C-alpha cells in the first residue's frame, strides 16, 4: 500500500471504488478496463491502470463469481491420495485445467477410503458451487 494512502485504505484491500476515485473515473469504467473492453479510450485505460498499480488493487474472485455466476472452483475427491495412480491423475487433471480452463482452480479433498468423509467432501464442493466434480476411487 502506498505511503500516501489514508488510514482507512491501509486497513483493508483497495476496492474498485478506490481505483475509480484515484483515476477520476466511474466504477463502471474501471470494470470495462478490467474486462479489456475496446470501448475505453487509451487515456482512460492508462489512468485506471496507473491507479491499479499505485493502489496495489487486485480484483476480488468472490465478487467476480457473484456477477458471473461461476465459482471458479473445480473439485476432485480421491479415496486414497497416497496411491501413485491417483497422484498421477490429479497431476494430469490439474495440468489440463490450468492450460484450458482460465480462472478455474482445482481443489482436492481426500475421502480417506471413508464413504462419510467422501460425502462430506461432495457437500463442501456443492456449497462452493463447483463448476465440476471428479470422484476417484
Q: What pLDDT does residue 5 have? A: 52
Tell whether 44 and 81 lie within a shared domain: no
Q: What is the pLDDT of residue 48?
A: 96
Q: What is the pTM of this model?
A: 0.57
- Quote the cell numbers at residue 58: 487486485
Q: Render each residue's pLDDT in the chain as its tens digit; 137 residues.
A: 454 555 454 588 999 999 999 999 999 999 999 988 999 999 999 999 999 999 999 987 777 777 778 888 889 998 877 788 888 888 898 888 888 877 778 888 888 888 898 899 999 999 988 988 998 87
Would you state the torsion angle of the CA atoms of residues 87, 91, 96, 99, taken in this order, to the nearest 10 degrees? 170
SS (H, E, C) 43-97: HHHHHHHHHHHHHCCCCCHHHHHHHHCCCCEEEEEECCCCCHHHHHHHHHHHHHH
Eight-class DSSP state of 109: E
- Domain range for residue 115? 70-136
Number of domains in the chain: 2
What's residue 25's pLDDT?
A: 97
Measured distance CA(53)–CA(72) in Å, rounded: 25
pLDDT for 79 = 82
Residue 49 lies in a domain: yes
Report the pLDDT value the prediction gives residue 21, as an integer from 0 to 100: 97
Q: Is 29 a domain residue?
A: yes
**Of residues 125, 31, 26, 43, the one with CA closest to residue 77:** 125
Q: Are 34 and 79 in the same domain?
A: no
Separation CA 54–CA 34 (nearest Å): 15
Amino acid at each position: 500500500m502506498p505511503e500516501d494512502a489514508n488510514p482507512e485504505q491501509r486497513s483493508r484491500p483497495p476496492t474498485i471504488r478506490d481505483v475509480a476515485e484515484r483515476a477520476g473515473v466511474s466504477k463502471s469504467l474501471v470494470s470495462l478496463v478490467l474486462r479489456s473492453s475496446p470501448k475505453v479510450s487509451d487515456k482512460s485505460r492508462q489512468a485506471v491502470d496507473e491507479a491499479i498499480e499505485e493502489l496495489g488493487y487486485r480484483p476480488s474472485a468472490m465478487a467476480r463469481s457473484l456477477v458471473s455466476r461461476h465459482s471458479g472452483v473445480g473439485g476432485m475427491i480421491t479415496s486414497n491420495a497416497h496411491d501413485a495412480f491417483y497422484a498421477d491423475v490429479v497431476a494430469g487433471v490439474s495440468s489440463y485445467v490450468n492450460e484450458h480452463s482460465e480462472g478455474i482452480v482445482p481443489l482436492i479433498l481426500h475421502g480417506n477410503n471413508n464413504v462419510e468423509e467422501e460425502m462430506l467432501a461432495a457437500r463442501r464442493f456443492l456449497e462452493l458451487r463447483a463448476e465440476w466434480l471428479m470422484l476417484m476411487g
